[in-house]
Amino acid sequence: MTHKTPAVSAMKQQARRLRAALQDAGTPLSHSGALETVARQHGHRDWNTAQAAASWENPARWQVGQSVRGRYLNQPFTGRIKSVSERIGGFWRLTLQFDAPVDVVTSQHFSNYRSQVRCVINAQGTTTEKTSDGTPHLRLFTA
């Protein structure tokens, strides 16, 4: 019978619960000690081995070269991801190359076209920055 190692976040949660339970019982245990114990409970030699065997439930959602579509300053666009880096807390920094320049000005008197933009998006694909009417600067979808 094969044993599937749980996700890293699940094992970390188990370690926190174990540490809290032992602390309440008067037996203090360090965080690293709790991680090592949880790793052994799942059949691994140590925490590093367990972590390497574990699944990460948040695989890279955004990748260089990926086709995307969305709205930038409320203007629709299609394009590709030119660069991506994952940030702490479920955020990603992206550079997007638009397929066609996007006019980011709503005035009828002049235009301002952008062909590339850098942004930081959350897990839902939106920026935390918003326009004055509360619309996110950018909303991103996979094409």
Structural domain contains residue 26: yes
Q: What per-residue confidence (pLDDT) applies to 60? A: 56
Q: What per-residue confidence (pLDDT) applies to 86? A: 84
Cβ neighbors of 81 (< 8 A, separation 6 or more) are 62, 63, 64, 65, 66, 68, 94, 95, 96, 97
Q: What per-residue confidence (pLDDT) applies to 10? A: 82
In this structure, are 81 and 114 located in the same domain? yes
The answer to whether 128 and 64 are in contact (CB under 8 A) is no
79-97 pLDDT, tens digit per residue, is 999 999 888 877 899 999 9
Report which DSSP code applies to 130: B
In this structure, are 45 and 103 located in the same domain? no
In this structure, are 74 and 123 located in the same domain? yes
Give me the residue label for tokens 């994952």. 86
**What integer is the mean pLDDT of 106-113?**
89
In this structure, are 120 and 77 located in the same domain? yes
Helical (H) or strand (E) element with 33: helix 31-41
The larger pLDDT score, comparing residue 60 to residue 13, is at 13
